[in-house]
């Protein structure tokens, strides 16, 4: 997964707990689908083929939601230079680190 995409989701949230579950599922879906021909998408997790991204999104919400949430947590823990600090204000430190990193990035 793209750490930048995960950081953008976190920046969009006003509070750490406000990362939208649908955005997490969407990001997970984008990492795990591939086009099949001109008109279908394939879920690489279970090989299900569907004709639209809307149907695929519903498939991921119903079938792979738990895995998506676990993936998101693992991505956060494995993000470079974003180790979870201990003690009081831990998330505030993480956000401060992320803002500092974003200051030097293009885009």
DSSP track, 16-29: GGG--HHHHHHHHH
- pLDDT tens string 54-104: 999 999 999 999 999 999 888 877 765 544 444 444 555 565 665 666 554
pTM: 0.59
Distance from C-alpha of 84 to C-alpha of 36, rounded to nearest angstrom: 39
Q: Could you give phi then psi for residue 6, rounded to 5 degrees?
A: -65, -40
């Amino acid at each position: 997964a793209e750490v930048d995409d995960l950081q953008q989701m976190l920046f969009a949230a006003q509070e750490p707990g406000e990362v939208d579950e649908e955005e997490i599922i969407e990001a997970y879906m984008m990492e795990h689908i591939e086009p099949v021909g001109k008109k279908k998408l394939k879920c690489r997790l279970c090989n299900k083929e569907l004709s639209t991204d809307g149907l695929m999104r519903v498939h991921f919400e119903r079938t792979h939601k738990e895995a998506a949430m676990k993936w998101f947590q693992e991505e956060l823990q494995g993000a470079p230079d974003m180790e979870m600090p201990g003690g009081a204000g831990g998330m505030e430190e993480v956000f401060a680190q992320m803002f500092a990193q974003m200051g030097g990035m293009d885009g």
